[in-house]
Chains A and B, each alone.
Chain A
Amino acid sequence: MSSIPDNLKYTASHEWIRIEGDTAVVGITDHAQAELTDIVYVELPEVGRTLAVGEGCGVVESVKTASDLYAPIAGEITEINSALEDAPEQVNESPYDEGWFFKLKLSGEPDLSGALDAAGYASQIGES
C-alpha cells in the first residue's frame, strides 16, 4: 500500500497538491514514484510561467520511461525545487516532502473541483 496523506488533494494523473495560503505546492504521489521507480531526471517549468489546469509543464524520467507532468491547478510558477536537478532520487525517497516539484501562486480561491481527496485517489489506484 502506498502512502496517501489525508491533507492533500490528488489528480487522476498522480500529482498531489498542498494549499498553503495563496500558494499551491505540487509533486507526484508515492504510488506514481513507486510505479516509475528509479527517477533519474526531472524537467520542471520556468519560474514566472502561467499554467492552466491540465497543461503539460514538465517531464519525469525514470530508467525505463519518460512521463509527462500536468498542472493540477492554475497559477503562476513562483518557485521550483532545483535540488531535484542533482538529486532526482528525492522524488522516490520523499515524494510528499523533499521531492516536491514546484509552487504556484493562485489567482484567487483555489479551484479544486476537479481534484480528488485521499479516499478518491486511493479508489482511483485500486487501494481503497
Chain B
Amino acid sequence: MVDPRRTALYETHQALGASCIDFGGWEMPVQYSGIVDEHRAVREACGLFDISHMGELMVGGARAAEFLDHALTNTASKLDVGDAQYSLMCNDRGGVLDDLYVYRIAKEVYLLVVNASRIAEDLAELQRLVAEFESTRTVNVVDESDNLSAVAVQGPHVNRFVSQLFTMSGLIAVERPTALEKNQIDAFIFEGKDVYVSRTGYTGQDGFELIAPNEIITILWERLMELGSDHGIKPAGLGARDTLRMEMGYPLYGHELSEGVSPLEAGLGFFVDMEKSFRGRGELGFQKKEGVTRRNMAFAMTAKSPPPREGYTVWIGDEEIGVVTSGTQSPSLQTGIGMAYINQPHAKRGTEIEIEIRGRRFPAELRKKPLYQKT
C-alpha cells in the first residue's frame, strides 16, 4: 500500500479543520463544516474546492486536433481557441477508459483535464495512440499533473468577485473571467504566472475552475477566500462535490463509468460524434443501431427510506432490473436520490421501481436528469 499523495493545499485544509479521505490515491478533504452546509453554500452562495488531484495532459502539435478527433468521442477539431468540451476516451470495445474535459488553449495546443485515478492509464493510452496515429511524432502528449494544481469556485455569488483576482485582461480573448461564456477558457496573470480560468464545473451552478502552478495555488486559494468572504464563500470537500454532482446526474468514473460500460449506456451519446472515425466507433455504431441493453438513469425515492447507496439492487416486482451506481440523501431535495444501470426495456422516465436496502424494498421512480432544477 503506497501512502496517499497530498496536494499543495494539504496544509491549508488541515488549518481549516478538514477531515480527509483517500480518493484515487490522494488524501483529500471530504468535508470542513459538514457536507450539507457546504452543499447549501454552493447552491445558494459560493463554495471553494481543491481539485488539484485531477490530471492535466497537454496535447500539442500540428496534427493535435486531428489526433484528438481520432482518440476521443467528441470532436476537438470543432473547438475554437478558448473553447472547451466534455469528451470520452474509449477502448476498442467502446468501453470508457476515462471521461475528461478538452480545452483548446492555442491553435495547436489542447489541455485535457482527466480523472486523478486515470492519469497513468490515459497517458500511456494516448502515447500508444500517437505512435499508432503517425510515424513522424509531430503530436506530443505531456503530463503536467505534477506541476499544476487546481481549484473550483462554484455558486451563484462567484461572478460578484472572481474577476477581482486579476488586474490584466486574458491572454486569449476576454477582458475578465466573468466575460467568459460557459465552456470557455482564458489565461490570466496572477503573481507573475499564467492561471487558466474556465467557466466550467461539476456542481450544476455557475462557476469557474482555475488551474495554476503548484507554487501559487495557496495564495490563489487564500485570495479567493478573502474576496469571497463578503459573499458567503465556504471551503467545500469531496462529500459536497459528490452530492452536488449526483443531484445533476453527472457521472463519476469508477461508479457510472468504467471500461465495461459504453458512453451510450451511460446516457452520454450527446458527447459521441458518430459522424467521424474514432477509437471504439465500431462497437458504438453497432450499439446505436441495435439499441443498448441497459442505460444509466437517475432516480428518486418516493417514500421515506434509508439513503440509496452504490451496489443496491433495483427491482420491478420479482424481476431484478438493475443496480445502483451512486446514491445519497439529496440535501436540496431532502429525499434519497441516485443513479442506476437499468436493464431495457425498463429504462424509461416515470417507471416505478424498488430499491433493496438491507433486505427490505423501498419505492422509487426513474427521473429525468438533472434531478435538481435551479429555481
Contacts and interface: CB of A to CB of B under 8 A. Distances in A.
A3 B305 CA distance: 30
B34 interface: yes
Contacts of A40: 307, 329
A44 interface: no
B307 A37 contact: no
A63 B331 contact: yes
Given A35-B19, A40-B329, A64 B309 contact: no
A63 B243 contact: yes
B353 to A, nearest CB: 19
A43 B360 CA distance: 12
A61 B306 contact: yes
Given A35-B19, A40-B329, A66 B306 contact: yes
B307 A61 contact: yes
Interface residues of B, number: 18
Interface string B231-254: 000000001001100000000000
A102 B66 CA distance: 65
Interface string B326-361: 001101000000000000000000000000001000
Contact of B307 (A35, A63, A85): A63
Given A37-B35, A38-B36, A63 B329 contact: yes
Residue picked from A59, A62, A63, A66, most chain B C-beta under 10 Å:
A63
Interface string A9-51: 0000000000000000000000000010110110100000000
Contact of A63 (B239, B304, B305): B239
Nearest to B243: A63
Contacts of A85: 304
User: Which applies to chain B's interface (DSSP): helix, strand, loop or mixed?
Assistant: mixed
Could you say which interface size class chain A belongs to?
A: 10 to 19
B358 A59 contact: yes
A37 B306 contact: no
Contacts of B242: 64
Residue picked from A61, A64, A85, most chain B C-beta under 10 Å:
A64
Interface string B49-93: 000000000000000000000000000000000000000000000
Contacts of A41: 305-307, 329
Nearest to A62: B35
A63 B35 contact: yes
Given A40-B329, A41-B329, A64 B35 contact: yes
B358 A38 contact: no
A38 B34 contact: yes
A65 to B, nearest CB: 8
Nearest to B36: A38
Contacts of B304: 85
A66 to B, nearest CB: 7
B306 A43 contact: yes
Contacts of B305: 41
Contacts of A35: 19
B312 to A, nearest CB: 11
Nearest to A92: B34
B34 to A, nearest CB: 4
B178 interface: no
Contacts of A38: 34-36, 329, 331
B198 interface: no
Contacts of A62: 35
B150 interface: no
A37 B35 CA distance: 8
Interface in A32-89: 35, 37-38, 40-41, 43, 59, 61-64, 66, 85
27 contacts: A35-B19, A37-B35, A37-B36, A38-B34, A38-B36, A38-B329, A38-B331, A40-B329, A41-B305, A41-B307, A41-B329, A59-B306, A59-B358, A61-B306, A62-B35, A63-B35, A63-B36, A63-B307, A63-B329, A63-B331, A64-B30, A64-B35, A64-B239, A64-B242, A66-B306, A66-B307, A85-B304
Interface of A: 35, 37-38, 40-41, 43, 59, 61-64, 66, 85
The list of the 10 closest CB pairs from A to B, nearest first, reads A40-B329, A37-B34, A38-B36, A41-B306, A63-B35, A64-B239, A61-B306, A63-B329, A38-B35, A61-B307
